[in-house]
Amino acid sequence: MTAHTSDNIQQWFSENAQQAHDHDTSESGRSHSHDHHHSGHHHHHHHDKDDFHDYMQAVADYKKTFLVRVDYDLRASLYVSAPTKRKILEVLKKIGGERLTATSYVDNILRHHLEMFRDEINCIHQEQNYHNII
């Protein structure tokens, strides 16, 4: 991820944190003037409180899904490319916490992928087996 991209995310995050706060205060009976002086700062998109809530929910879901330790009885080696390994280790260093291993993180990612794309994988398998018969 380039520095430029992470700057954008931080800017999005801070803008939206401020905006969600503004919506909260205006809904509690104070004036709506907060909402208007912000509109100049938004470039070409407008995120409301629901977007911010969805974003925070997505972040929470990510943590629950991927940043959890897995305990293994059986382990087997798989190789990844050096650049991918560097990225994985960088992510772990920054957000992994004390107990999360690279093996757990990668295992979580792969299990999630297989669950998400189970239907597509099975479909490809069936297509190939169908074609083999002919």
pLDDT in single tens digits along all 134 residues of the chain = 445 555 555 665 666 555 555 554 444 444 444 444 444 455 556 668 899 999 999 999 999 999 999 888 888 999 999 999 999 999 999 999 888 999 999 999 999 999 999 999 999 998 887 766 56
Q: At what angle do helices 82-95 and 102-116 cross, to 10 degrees?
A: 110
DSSP 8-state secondary structure symbol assigned to residue 51: H
pLDDT at residue number 11: 62
Contact indicator for 66, 105 with CB cutoff of 8 Å: yes
